[in-house]
Amino acid sequence: MNIEELKRVLADQHEVLSEKLKREKIVERELRGRILTNFKPTVHIITGPRRSGKSILSATLLSKSLYVNFEDPAMAGFSIADYKRLLQAGYELFEEFNYIVLDEIQEVEGWERMVSPLREIYPTVVTGSNARLLSREFSTYLTGRYLNYTLLPFSFREFLAYKGINTEIRTTRDEAKVKRGLLEYIQYGGFPEALGFGREYLINLYNDIITRDVIVRYGIRNVRELREVAFYLFSNFAGRFTYSKIKNVLGIGNVGTVKNYVEYLESAYLIFELPKFSFKPKEGLRGDRKVYAVDTGMVNAVIPKVSENVGRLMENAVFLELLRLKHYRKPGVEIYHYRDDKSEIDFVVKDGEKTELIQVTYASERDEIAEREIKGLFRGMELFHLKNGTLVTWDYTDKIEADGRRIDVIPLWRWLLNP
């Protein structure tokens, strides 16, 4: 592409982005602070599910960015040899800029060789919707000289900010607004644009992720088989699965194919696997896994009548918030589930030497909490040598004590505000 072509495309993209920023309500993302703490000339890679807000976040980190969207068909003729002309076009259009944004960079073959010289001059933000494809190039060409981030759909706090609902609970009315907000959040999820367009948008996005970020990217031949695996996993969100069970249920030729499909879907951020914790690491690797969906709103849109199972939706929301904790604030956190022949714990959260156990149950009164939930959590605390555990409910607060140990019972809305 020549400089004049690039100038026209950059000007058009800048205009579209500026209008979007004026038109839409922009919520400051919680990941932004972590990115800016070390925002210097190097590669800053932001991955995450399609339409989770990577473009807006990247373009609003600081003022005066050189923003380039490589999904724009007008950039189809761009090659890595054009990178100097891209810089020249940027200088001629904007005179100066503080950093560069290369949005959906995986559309450019050999992109990593273009990024290497750019990062020496400016903080260079690279975004993409497929973790596996990008990570392969990270390790091969960037040799550790990059910072990696993952952006997920809105947290409950970001959702409330988008809705203009105050998260500082001072009055009964404030609390009622937050609780109504939780009902909406569980139903519609946290994809920013979905909050305006609704169910059909989420169904289209689900199909878009499967088609563009899995089928096309990996050259999947048996499309029907891949879609069946995706639907099976979405249908069984917050549940356990094994590769062999999926193979048998769906009649797929071998376990290796199933494993690949699951990995592809996870790399596109459609689903997440949660491994089983074991006091013997090798057993943990062989244990069954749980699966969670990227967004409760998308689950509600894709799976008929799933909204009737509030407990599973709650558990999925808790998992996603724990994932944000890992990606936004505490990268060293490890998340597992635990199960033996006597008890089951939804989440085992390891943060260095610190361990937290979290159980999730759909209850608004004490007598709605199954005794097995309480006994299982107490037993887990004994196994992990802990004095405290957490039981997340729909809307019930309490402290349950026994044998010198205590379970803090906390409503989901309050836990999501202060996980």
Please classify residue 60 by burial: count the beta carbons closer than 10 Å to its beta carbon, then call 0-12 exposed, 13-18 middle and 19+ buried.
middle
The pLDDT value given to residue 114? 87
H helix or E strand, kind and range, residue 166: none
The alpha carbon of 14 is separated from its chain's Cα centroid by a whole number of angstroms, namely 27
The answer to whether the CB of 296 falls within 8 A of the CB of 244 is no
Q: How far is 117 from 354, CA to CA, in rounded Å?
A: 41
pLDDT tens digits in sequence order for the chain, 419 residues long: 899 999 999 999 999 999 999 988 899 999 999 999 999 999 999 999 999 999 999 999 999 999 999 999 999 989 988 999 999 999 999 989 999 999 988 888 888 888 888 988 999 999 988 776 556 556 566 666 789 899 999 999 999 999 999 999 999 999 999 999 999 999 999 999 999 898 999 999 999 999 999 999 899 999 999 999 999 999 999 999 999 999 999 999 999 999 999 999 999 999 999 999 988 866 655 668 999 999 999 999 999 888 779 999 999 999 999 999 999 999 999 999 999 988 899 999 999 999 999 999 999 999 999 999 999 999 999 999 999 999 999 999 999 999 999 999 999 999 999 87
Question: What's the per-residue H, E or C state across 22-85?
Answer: HHCCCCCCCHHHHHHCCCCCCEEEEECCCCCCHHHHHHCCCCCEEEEECCCHHHCCCCHHHHHH
pLDDT in tens, 128-155: 887 765 565 565 666 667 898 999 999 9
Q: What does the pLDDT read at residue 145? A: 76
- Helix 3-23 to helix 83-94 angle (10° resolution) is 60
- Under CATH, which architecture does the 3-150 domain have? 3-Layer(aba) Sandwich (3.40)
Q: What are the boundaries of each domain within the chain?
A: 3-150, 156-188, 194-417
Tokens 């001072």 appear where? 170
- Sign of the torsion formed by the C-alpha atoms of 383, 384, 385 and 391: negative
For CA atoms 384, 386, 390, 396, the dihedral sign is positive
